[in-house]
Amino acid sequence: MARVINGTTTPPQAAVDMERVKWSAQAPEQASKGADGVKNYLAVDAALRAVVFAAGAAAVAVMLTSKQSKMIHISPTMAIPLDANWNQSPAYIYYVAAYSTACLYSIITGVSSVLTLKKRGDVSTKMQFHLAILDSMLLSIVSTAVGAALAVAYIGLRGNPHSFWKEICNAYGSFCHHLSASITMAIIATSALLLLVWLSYYRLLKKIASR
């Protein structure tokens, strides 16, 4: 049966051929858009992992150099040297361990993503699922670490009169400045990791929806 296109009668075979031509013309354009989307996703993913590594490494480095020694008067006529150091608090030890793990993790996952891209052109759905789960687990670890560090740092800054804990930042100013800078970097790393988790699940949902 003939088909009317733009006021002219077209044979059935010609109509089918025209549909194939249209589809073949649109296919490369759609493939190009898909490739651009994958590249954009991988670029953002790599950038966020680089931020996690850089901010996490800075947080650890500043914390490790936070030691301060000072002569503290224990009586009107006697003063003894006392140190303020990060390894005196279990919360800070956990904090350093958590963000050191985050730095190592960001290096491993960043390299594996680049290698996978070179071999396949895109991250597989299975690997994307594993990355999403691991990113979420690491986010929970670093979130608890920065929360614990903030709690101890606040006590050092303000003290706790109900428990008779005195503030130390009035005596160990340099130590507290290191803590403040380190925790700021840690919050940046945690925020980047949160964005990375959202991006991982978004990409995973798009892969599942396209099937």
Query: Model confidence over 50-77: pLDDT tens digits?
Result: 999 999 999 999 999 988 877 766 666 7
Contacts with 12 (C-beta within 8 Å, 6 or more apart), sequence order: 1, 2, 3
Sequence-distant (≥ 6) Cβ neighbours of residue 60 within 8 angstroms: 96, 99, 100, 103, 182
The per-residue pLDDT of the chain, averaged, comes to 79
pLDDT surpassing 70 at residue 168: yes
Kindly give, in sequence order, each residue whose CB lies less than 8 Å from that of residue 75, ignoring residues fewer than 6 positions away: none
Helix (H, G, I), strand (E, B) or coil at 5: strand
32 pLDDT higher than 60: no
Mutual orientation of helices 173-209 and 12-64 as an angle, nearest 10°?
160
pLDDT attached to residue 98: 96
Chain centroid offset of residue 111 CA:
15
Between the alpha carbon of residue 16 and those of residues 6, 25, 26, 30, 124, the distances in Å are 15, 14, 16, 21, 36
